[in-house]
Amino acid sequence: MKLFLKHAIHKDCIFISIKAGLVVGTILALINHYHAIFSGTVTTTEILQILATYFVPYLVATFGSAMQARNTELEERKN
C-alpha cells in the first residue's frame, strides 16, 4: 500500500490524472447534462453529479497510473 501511495501522490501521476479527469469528465458531463448546462437550469444535485463526473475518471486514472508504476518498480527490484 505504501508503494502504491508513493506513486499515487507523485506529481507526474497527479498531472496525468487531472488531464484525464478534465477531458473525460467534460465529455461525460456534456453527454449526461447538456440540456441543463445549455439551458442554464443546472440544479444543485446536477452540480454534484457533474463534480462526481470529473472525480471518477481522475480516480481511475490515478489508480491505473500508480499501479503501473508500482508494478514496474517491483519488477525492477526483482532484477
Residues 11-70 pLDDT 10s = 999 999 999 999 999 999 999 999 999 999 999 999 999 999 999 999 999 999 999 999
Domain boundaries, the chain: 2-74
**pTM of the shown model:** 0.87
Contact present, 45 and 58 (Cβ < 8 Å): no
Average pLDDT over residues 6-12: 97
- The H or E element that residue 41 is part of is none
2 is written with which cell numbers?
Answer: 505504501
In this structure, which amino acid lies at residue 11? K
Contact present, 69 and 3 (Cβ < 8 Å): no
